[in-house]
A = this chain, B = another copy of it.
């Protein structure tokens, strides 16, 4: 009887969990140095075709995945992005997050999400914590003080979403044009006295909307004379005279809208533009409770186009702000390191909550 003993250098080791296969393993298996492996993977043109093939092949069969931490240690780039939103429960943000997330994954980046629970004070700290682990962060921060923002931007690559400050890349939307579409729509329906219920004064988006409102207001000012200059995108029909009344700022929530409703109803207007959809929904809710017909007695128009707006009855007419595209654009800016301000288009979506002025 002949016994054959096979001696192997590596005893048949029992591995639990996923085996971490390193670049060294690939190098050994392919019979090259680690340097060649890394070159084959990231500078394919500098290594001989035959070698490259062999390396790539073994890498694949071994299931090699570079260790990003190790890579980051030396390159300084992590392949990760940070994303900070004030409140994920606000239905405006998930769309942006999805956009960021999708684009980042396309570019083979992972994204850290941080939700600050509407606490602007905590934001800067959070970003700095993240800073070490990411190549840049996209920041949705309507309320953070500009100085703080600027300091942050000096330290790490940032792109702002729905906020603009000098010298920092950002992506926003054409609020002015949106507002023009909104008011144009309402005046075309015969409304001559329109309320705007404002959001938080500290919010960039609100300031911007008020600015737009007033700009459009000048065009349709009460005297009924056509505004002199034509706007690029077509301007509000100036034949209709129209009065805009701004109403005190509310929290940008459903509750804010509910609270504002009675004031709006007392203001003698036939239409109202809300700071955002959430506020508009609040208005709608209170109107329903008080038996005010929408759009019969009051037309309601929102901003944002949150999914919710299409689900209520009557469905909400709103100025749609790009969310996914904004997120994607932000990631693009970040990855291309372009210090650029991008402005995305807005679009009025007419649904059931606006109608002809009655009376």
**Interface residues in chain A, defined as those with a beta carbon under 8 Å from any beta carbon in chain B:** 17-18, 65, 67-70, 72-73, 78, 80, 83, 88-89, 91, 93-95, 97-98, 101-102, 105, 110-115, 117, 126, 129-133, 154-156, 254, 281-282, 284-285, 288-289, 307-308, 310-313
Residue of B nearest to A313 (CB): B288
Contact of B132 with A68 in the complex, beta carbons under 8 Å: yes
Checking B18, B88, B112, B285 against A110 with a beta-carbon cut-off of 8 angstroms, the contacting residue is B112
Contact of A97 with B69 in the complex, beta carbons under 8 Å: no
The oligomer's copy count stands at 2
Asked whether A67 and B132 contact (CB < 8 A) given A101-B113, A312-B311, the answer is: yes
CA distance A73 to B78 in the complex (A): 13
A304 to chain B, nearest CB (A): 14
Residue of B nearest to A17 (CB): B155
Contacts of A97 in B (CB 8 A): 88, 113, 115
Given pairs A18-B156, A110-B129, 18 additional interface contacts (CB within 8 A): A17-B156, A67-B132, A69-B73, A69-B132, A70-B73, A73-B73, A83-B113, A88-B94, A89-B98, A91-B91, A94-B94, A105-B126, A110-B130, A281-B311, A285-B311, A285-B313, A289-B313, A308-B308
Residue of B nearest to A110 (CB): B112
A199 to chain B, nearest CB (A): 17
